[in-house]
C-alpha cells in the first residue's frame, strides 16, 4: 500500500534564512549539541520567547517565578494572609506555619535540626518568598549567630519581621535574641542557651 501525503504533511518544518549577530551565532553553537541542531536551539528559543511574552501559557511554577521577579510579588501562607486581612498581628506571630515551611525547605523535622540548620532554612525560605533581597547568616567563634535581612521598604517592616522571627526563635529554641533595627534592614543576634 502506498501512502500519498500532501506537501504540508511531509514537512512540519519551514526553512527560514536570517542574518544574526556574532553573539547570537555563538549562542546557537553553544547549545547546538544539547538541542540536536541549530534549528533545535531556535525552536526552543522561540517557545521560550512565547512563554515570556504570554506568561499565562506557562506552568504555575513558571508564572510564580516571573511574578516574583518582575512584579515583586511575595509568597505568603494562607493562615498568615488571613491574619493580615483581619488586622490581627498577634495571630500572625502565633498562628502561622513558619516551622512547617522551614521543615519543608530543609527536608527534615525540627527535632532533627540544630539551630544553624533552622536558621539556614529560615534564610532560604524567606529569600524564596521574596520578602528580602538579601539575607546573610554568620556564626562567630563563640557560636553566636548574626543574621542580617535587607529589604527596600520601611522601618516598620523591619520592626514587624524582627519581632516575627524573634517570636519563632524563642518559641522553638532555647536562645536569646537581640534585634537591631534599621530603616531598610535589621539584624538578629542569636545566642543558643545550652
Within a domain: residue 38? no
Q: What is the pLDDT of residues 21-64, one digit of tens each?
A: 999 898 889 998 999 988 888 888 888 787 767 766 667 677 77
Locate 149 and state its grid cell. 535581612
Strand partners, 149: 135, 186
Q: What is the number of domains present in the chain?
A: 1
C-alpha closest to that of 136 among 144, 127, 128: 127
pLDDT the model gives residue 6: 46
Indicate the length of the chain as a whole number: 194
Residue with cell 502506498: 2
Q: Model pTM?
A: 0.66
Run of H or E including 181? strand 175-181
Within a domain: residue 163? yes
pLDDT the model gives residue 43: 87
Q: What is the pLDDT of residues 154-172, one digit of tens each?
A: 999 999 999 999 999 999 9
Within a domain: residue 2? no
Q: 166 is in which domain, residue-wise?
A: 78-192
Amino acid at each position: 500500500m502506498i501512502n500519498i501525503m500532501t506537501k504540508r504533511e511531509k514537512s512540519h518544518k519551514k526553512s527560514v534564512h536570517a542574518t544574526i549577530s556574532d553573539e547570537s551565532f555563538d549562542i546557537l553553537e553553544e547549545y547546538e549539541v544539547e538541542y540536536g541542531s541549530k534549528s533545535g536551539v531556535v525552536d526552543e528559543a522561540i517557545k521560550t520567547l512565547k512563554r515570556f511574552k504570554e506568561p499565562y501559557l506557562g506552568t504555575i511554577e513558571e508564572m510564580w517565578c516571573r511574578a516574583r521577579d518582575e512584579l515583586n510579588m511575595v509568597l505568603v501562607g494562607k493562615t498568615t494572609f488571613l491574619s493580615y486581612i483581619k488586622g490581627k498581628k498577634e495571630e500572625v506571630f502565633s498562628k502561622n506555619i513558619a516551622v512547617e515551611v522551614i521543615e519543608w525547605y530543609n527536608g527534615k523535622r525540627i527535632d532533627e535540626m540544630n539551630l544553624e540548620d533552622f536558621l539556614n532554612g529560615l534564610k532560604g525560605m524567606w529569600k524564596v518568598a521574596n520578602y528580602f533581597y538579601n539575607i546573610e547568616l554568620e556564626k562567630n567563634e563563640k557560636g553566636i549567630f548574626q543574621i542580617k535581612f535587607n529589604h527596600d521598604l520601611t522601618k516598620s517592616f523591619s520592626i514587624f519581621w524582627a519581632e516575627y522571627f524573634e517570636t519563632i526563635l524563642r518559641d522553638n529554641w532555647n536562645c536569646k535574641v537581640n534585634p537591631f533595627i534599621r530603616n531598610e534592614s535589621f539584624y538578629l543576634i542569636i545566642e543558643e542557651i545550652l
